[in-house]
Amino acid sequence: MLKADFHIHTHCSRCSDMKPRDIIKNALTKKYDVLGIVDHDSIKGALTTKKVAGKKILIIPGEEIKTVHGEIIVLLSDGKYNKNLLDICDRAKDENHFIVAPHPFDYLRKGVKNNIVKVKKLDALEIFNSRVLVNRFNLIARDYAEKNKIPKIVGSDAHFIEEIGNAAVFLDCEKNIDSIFDYLIKNDNLKFYCKRCSIIPHLKSNIVLPFKRIF
Ligand SMILES: [Zn+2]
Ligand SMILES: [Zn+2]
């Protein structure tokens, strides 16, 4: 059984301070086999993490792209996407990249919300995000995925080391990207581990880090 988390940031996101080496070290102690590394509008941290991980952990590089219609994750992104949601969907289809809507109904952050109908290529919906402050937003996502038969995924959205381990998807498949995506799409009874973080990591992202960057 593979243990995976498809939503992790590195210090290449301004709201995170995690170094790739520390992510791998910590994720290994927590027995992760697969990590999706998705910085805000950048694949740089993901590529470095992939190098650092070697064969120890399978890294799926990607990015969390901010569009005017909300944030969208493109796993396997080559960093050449523009910020238009419709273009992203079209291109992801052509390139066979994997689209996830993160925290889609989080009304306190930048989910796609009602723009979800515009996401023409939606491979999976994040039905649980550990950083969602109001759990009802996660429940709305779960209901939406079930009603519309959209494959489900969960993510810690870790920005700090202590957040690694907050979410996991368990996959009974081979440790390669094709098998993993195939498994995610075809199984509607996936096993998840889901734990929400406290307010502290949010304060670190929004107050402590910006303060540190100034001084
Ligand atoms: Zn962030
Ligand atoms: Zn994120």
CA of 175 to the centre of ligand 2 (A): 23
What's the CA-to-centroid distance between 173 and ligand 2, angstroms? 25
Number of domains within the chain: 1
For the domain that residue 59 is a member of, what is the CATH number? Answer: 3.20.20.140
Mean pLDDT to the nearest integer, 164-184? 97
The model scores a pTM over 0.85: yes
Burial class (CB in 10 A: 0-12, 13-18, 19+), 164: buried
Ligand nearest to C-alpha 7? 2
Q: How far, in Å, from the CA of 10 to the mean position of ligand 1?
A: 9
Q: What is the DSSP letter of 104?
A: T
Strand partners, 37: 8, 61
CA of 123 to the centre of ligand 2 (A): 17
Boundaries of domain holding 77: 2-214
Inter-residue contact 46 to 37 (CB < 8 Å): yes
CA of 145 to the centre of ligand 2 (A): 19
pLDDT tens digits along 37-90: 999 999 999 999 999 999 999 999 999 999 999 999 999 999 999 999 999 999
**Confidence at residue 215, expressed as pLDDT on a 0 to 100 scale:** 75
